[in-house]
Amino acid sequence: MKKYLPLFLILIAGCAAPPIIETCKIDLKYRKDKEAIRDCSEAVRQYPDNPEAHFLLGKAYAYTSKYEEAVISVEKAIELDSTWVNALKKEENKRVFYPCYFNAGVKSMEKKEYEDAIRRLHRATEIDPTRPGAYVNLGFIYAELKKEEEMVNYLTKAIEVDPKNSRAYHSLGSYYYRKGEHEKATEYIDSAINYGKENVATFQEQFSSMSPTVNEDNTKKALSMLEDTTVVDKFLTEGLGIKNASQARFVLNKLMQNMNELVDGYVLKSLIFLNTDKEKEAEEILQEALKVDENDLNVLFYFGLSLLRQKRYEESVSPFKKMTEVDSLDERGWFQLGAAYFRTKDYDGGISCFTKVIEINPQSVDGYTNRGHAYAGKADLAKKKGRKKEERELRNKAYADFKKAGEIK
């Protein structure tokens, strides 16, 4: 019996994982992230054909939010041994690797590397088929690729796994709106708005629960600071007394995202109303949108347009003027403000606005044409008052603008 013992021990040792891989597992278990990346990288160097080494390195990258590197390492493991794809679907790995594939897919999507994006997002749906984000983004990609059937299928799947996913409803509403199927579009848009309002209320409540000092005004202030992490964190901790600034920022980002989606839903529904000659209904839905975001340029634009179409020219001045205050380089705002002034026979206001349009876009045919009309309108007033010299100068300016517009065409 004794003479076989050494052979038995040798066989057992031969089945054991290399020590460096065992070290990697310990690093990962106790979340020694830097050590895990170092040791797993060494394991890959020593054993480049060992799929477990690549998988563990992928997990080490995942723990440090290096999504791209994590995906590359895990895919190498699967390339070496396809059965490793099953490890991704284990419950303890889902929450680790779904964000990796999702975020890496979105990054590829943003770079317009659609094949990589589709492959990564598909893998995300395999890892966790109950999460809607990957389905929604696959829908966006197929929309970009003009593959409508696939787009509809993935957006519909997103709604199946998350019946309150306002983004998916909005995207389908946009699709049917573009097809001219207004009734079907309205069904999806109404769902997007209803669930959007629920989602906004949920995240508002979550943020409010973080401190008794939170109110509507300082929530708006915090939202306006989101682009600067240092500034918003200081406001959250020192100004509002919130202990976990990063969690508060997460909630605020979710709130902002859902507010934007809700506003987009209102705007889309207003377009349906405007395209079906229901200007009053468009005005009312846009008033709801302004309660969510009073500075949204699209909301202000279509709100002003709804008033213009109702021939409420003086009232339309306010939203268009607000557009120019929010973004002084928004050509649409200046043009429509000029149109509103022209309609109220404020020709000087119109001339000033159309001049701004031309400054922003020197090739604006409409800018020159409409400034020419404003000069002509002012010339008519001068004629009525017997100011012949002023009338002649204004007619010359009008002629010059009409001529310029013709040259640009």
Task: Classify residue 297 by burial, with Cβ atoms within 10 Å: 0-12, 13-18, 19+.
Answer: middle
Residue 16 is predicted with a pLDDT of 60
Quick one: average pLDDT of 60-71? 97
Residue 4 is predicted with a pLDDT of 44
Residue 314 is predicted with a pLDDT of 96
Quick one: average pLDDT of 86-114? 96
pLDDT at 17 over 60: yes
Q: What is the dihedral of CA 382, 386, 387, 391, to 10 degrees?
A: 50
Question: pTM of the predicted model, to two decimals?
Answer: 0.83
AA identity, residue 334: W
Residue in the structure block whose two tokens are 């970009």:
144
Cα-trace Rg, the chain: 30
pLDDT at 15 over 60: no
Q: Could you report the per-residue pLDDT of 69-79, keeping only the tens digit for each? A: 999 999 999 99
Quick one: average pLDDT of 300-326? 97
Q: Residue 408 belongs to what H/E stretch?
A: helix 388-408
Joined together, the tokens standing for residue 172 give 């389908």
Q: Could you report the per-residue pLDDT of 266-309, keeping only the tens digit for each? A: 999 999 999 999 999 999 999 999 999 999 999 999 999 999 99
pLDDT range class, residue 8, cuts 50, 70, 90: very low
Q: Could you report the per-residue pLDDT of 180-236, keeping only the tens digit for each? A: 999 999 999 999 999 999 999 999 999 999 999 999 999 999 999 999 999 999 999
pLDDT at 324 over 50: yes
Residue 409 is predicted with a pLDDT of 77
pLDDT at 331 over 60: yes
Domain 89-162 coded CATH 3.90.870.10? no
Reduce the DSSP state of residue 31 to 3 states and report it: coil
Domain boundaries, the chain: 16-87, 89-162, 190-289, 314-409
Quick one: average pLDDT of 16-29? 91
* Portion of the chain with pLDDT greater than 70, in percent: 96
Could you tell me which of 147, 120, 116, 144 has the C-alpha nearest to residue 134? 120
Straight-line distance from the first to the last Cα atom of the chain, in angstroms, rounded to the nearest whole number: 101
AA identity, residue 186: T
Among 153-157, 310-314, 405-409, the least confident range: 405-409
Residue 9 is predicted with a pLDDT of 42
Q: Do domains 89-162 and 314-409 have the same CATH topology?
A: yes
CA angle at 277 for the pair 276 and 281, rounded to the nearest 5°: 95
pLDDT at 1 over 70: no
pLDDT at 13 over 80: no
Distance CA 296, CA 329 (A): 14
pLDDT at 10 over 70: no
pLDDT range class, residue 343, cuts 50, 70, 90: very high
Quick one: average pLDDT of 370-379? 97
Residue partners of 56: CB distance under 8 A and separation at least 6: 21, 24, 25, 28, 36, 40, 43
* Portion of the chain with pLDDT greater than 90, in percent: 96
Q: Could you report the per-residue pLDDT of 146-170, keeping only the tens digit for each? A: 999 999 999 999 999 999 999 999 9
Q: Enter the DSSP assignment of 361.
A: -
Quick one: average pLDDT of 4-26? 65
CATH code given to domain 314-409: 1.25.40.10
Superfamily of domain 16-87: Tetratricopeptide repeat domain (1.25.40.10)
pLDDT at 6 over 50: no
